[in-house]
Amino acid sequence: MTQADPPAPQAGPRTTGATPPAPGAEPPGAARPGSHSGSRPDSRFWFRFGARLRFRFGVWRGLTPLLRLLILTQLAFNVGFFAVLPFLADHLGGAVGMAGWLVGLVLGLRTFSQQGLFVVGGALADRYGARPVVLAGCVLRIAGFTWLGFAERSWSVIGAVLLVGFAAALFSPAVESEVARQAVAREETGGGPRTGVLALFTVAGQAGAFVGPLLGALLLAVDFRTVCLAGSVIFLLVLTGHWWLLPQHIPGRAPTRGPGGARALLRNRRFLALCLAYGTYLLAYNQLYLAVPAEVERAAGSQAPLAWLFALSSLLVVTAQLPVTRWAADRLGLRRSMAAGLVLLSAGFAVVAAARPAALTGAEGLAPVAGFTALLTLGQMLIAPAARAWVPDLADPGRLGLYVGALSSVSGLVVLAGGAATGSLLDADLPVAVPWLVLAAIPLAATALLPRREGSP
């Protein structure tokens, strides 16, 4: 079973008739080899076990080879990236000897060169197809990580970091837009809701984000250069695999040529409204790196419990993303999924706001932050697949890459602007619950930004 295989579904109240036992499963009531004489397993156990196996493997086995490749690509991308990124700031401040403000600037430049330029990578994917853009991005990422491993001066580090970021601005929107395009095509031919594929894509990315730091931590015992070179090797493997496996011409996919896409995008009010709502979600998620560390430090006296909170978030996504997406697709639809997710974000902030005046410490003080993390992650599981699934309906024909890239770029600008305001809010001399209440109000207000109807304009 691969890392991207979906988890078994949670038991729920909705059953759609009898289901035959899974292929290869023992028939209900059959004696198990080696069991005690006269013991017979409950037939309901085998019914549930077979249903869980079919769900676990059904989505993955139902994908085309191209979709499987792209989803495993997301897994590999994040393993390679997160093997390096968590250790970059410490390396810059320690081995390189950068001042704190310069470390912050370097990290900001990486984010800008990646998120801010997603729209460029998406437009290039529309024009030239996914294959050359993904291959070029992999080459740049290999060069960037290798350069970073040997960089010892500030200007050299900045150049390497910009290259690392721009590489992702090429390959990420190319892969994401092709996954969305193939998910829509699969849905139109009766293969299942597009949100299921996009949820699997999210699970693969989260699994990579979980495995990457573990790999990096092991290699850091040697040195940071070894970590960077290992990241380069991972992207070299991705480059080799895509050189052989990613088709030059994808059926039903014609390159888009000619200007005009950006102007139409800027006039697309429904899409821009989606970007603003999605940006609000990213701003809330960004509090895992801004507001939460400060609250953990206050409650525990150190930031050591942060690792457990991130592990909780990753575990929830990997185990629950597919069942949650399946449930939402059956009952909510895209707009209501995003609205429900935004409400969960608000509830998470409200939990901390309610507990903060008590100034609890220790395990009791960490419980509200853990609740916030869980609610934030559940909101993410509803919002992210729904937003990605909505973009193809709002994009102009042949411009899906541009719109997928713009979703990240525009929402990144929201985070950039909102992050500075949030930092000022947290530093202000206000009652301790007020910043968290303000943060709770923002996602709730963002539900009004969501387009009123789904489907094409």
| Mean confidence (pLDDT) of the chain | 79
Give the CB-side neighbour count of residue 14, counting CA atoms within 13 A.
Answer: 8
Q: Per residue in 388-397, pLDDT tens?
A: 889 888 888 7
Query: Mean of the pLDDT values across residues 401-408?
Result: 86
Q: Which of 265, 287, 279 shows the shortest CA–CA distance to 446? A: 279
Query: Mean of the pLDDT values across residues 210-224?
Result: 86
Task: Name the pLDDT band for 117 (thresholds 50, 70, 90).
Answer: confident
Task: Name the pLDDT band for 54 (thresholds 50, 70, 90).
Answer: very low
- Model confidence at 451: pLDDT above 80: yes
- Model confidence at 69: pLDDT above 70: yes
Q: Which two tokens stand for residue 272?
A: 């821009």
Between 145 and 152, the higher pLDDT residue: 145
pLDDT of residue 258: 57
Query: Mean of the pLDDT values across residues 151-163?
Result: 88
Query: Mean of the pLDDT values across residues 314-323?
Result: 85
- Model confidence at 191: pLDDT above 50: yes
Between 210 and 39, the higher pLDDT residue: 210
Q: For 160, which DSSP code?
A: H
Between 274 and 424, the higher pLDDT residue: 274
pLDDT of residue 254: 57
Q: Alpha-carbon distance 119 to 211, whole Å? A: 28
Q: What share of the chain is helix, strand, coil (3-state, %, to 5)?
A: 75, 0, 25
Q: Which two tokens stand for residue 420?
A: 């500075």
- Model confidence at 203: pLDDT above 50: yes
- Model confidence at 442: pLDDT above 90: yes
- Model confidence at 83: pLDDT above 90: no
Specify which of 115-124, 248-257, 283-292, 338-347 reaches the highest per-range mean pLDDT: 338-347
C-alpha distances (whole Å) from 221 to each of 80, 194, 211, 306 are 17, 42, 17, 21
Residues 342 and 443: beta-carbon distance below 8 Å: yes
Query: Mean of the pLDDT values across residues 139-152?
Result: 93
Q: What counts of helices (H) and strands (E) characterise the chain?
A: 17, 0
- Model confidence at 56: pLDDT above 70: no
Query: Mean of the pLDDT values across residues 229-247?
Result: 90
pLDDT of residue 3: 38
Query: Mean of the pLDDT values across residues 298-320?
Result: 82
Distance, C-alpha 196 to centroid of its chain? 14
pLDDT of residue 40: 45
- Model confidence at 439: pLDDT above 70: yes
- Model confidence at 290: pLDDT above 70: yes
Q: Alpha-carbon distance 204 to 5, whole Å? A: 8
Q: Which two tokens stand for residue 55?
A: 């769900």
pLDDT of residue 251: 59
Between 52 and 377, the higher pLDDT residue: 377
- Model confidence at 27: pLDDT above 50: no
Contacts of 15 (CB under 8 A, 6+ apart): none
pLDDT of residue 100: 67
Burial of 17 (0-12, 13-18, 19+ CB in 10 A): exposed
pLDDT of residue 101: 72
Q: Which of 366, 357, 369, 365 shows the shortest CA–CA distance to 431? A: 357
Between 349 and 183, the higher pLDDT residue: 349
Task: Name the pLDDT band for 59 (thresholds 50, 70, 90).
Answer: low
Q: Alpha-carbon distance 229 to 224, whole Å? A: 9
At CB < 8 A and 24+ separation, what contacts does 391-394 make? Answer: 391/180, 391/271, 391/274, 392/180, 392/181, 392/184, 392/194, 393/454, 393/455, 393/456, 394/268, 394/270, 394/271, 394/274, 394/451, 394/456, 394/457
Specify which of 44-48, 74-78, 256-260 reaches the highest per-range mean pLDDT: 74-78
pLDDT of residue 98: 80
Cα Rg of the chain, angstroms:
23
Q: Per residue in 358-400, pLDDT tens?
A: 888 888 889 999 999 999 999 999 998 889 889 888 888 778 8
pLDDT of residue 295: 87
DSSP string covering 12-71: -S---S--PPPTTPPPTTPPPTTPPTT----HHHHHHHHHHHHHHHHHHHTS-HHHHHHH
Task: Name the pLDDT band for 104 (thresholds 50, 70, 90).
Answer: low
Query: Mean of the pLDDT values across residues 116-133?
Result: 85
pLDDT of residue 22: 37
Query: Mean of the pLDDT values across residues 206-224?
Result: 86
Between 236 and 429, the higher pLDDT residue: 236
Between 188 and 352, the higher pLDDT residue: 352
Residues 182 and 70: beta-carbon distance below 8 Å: yes
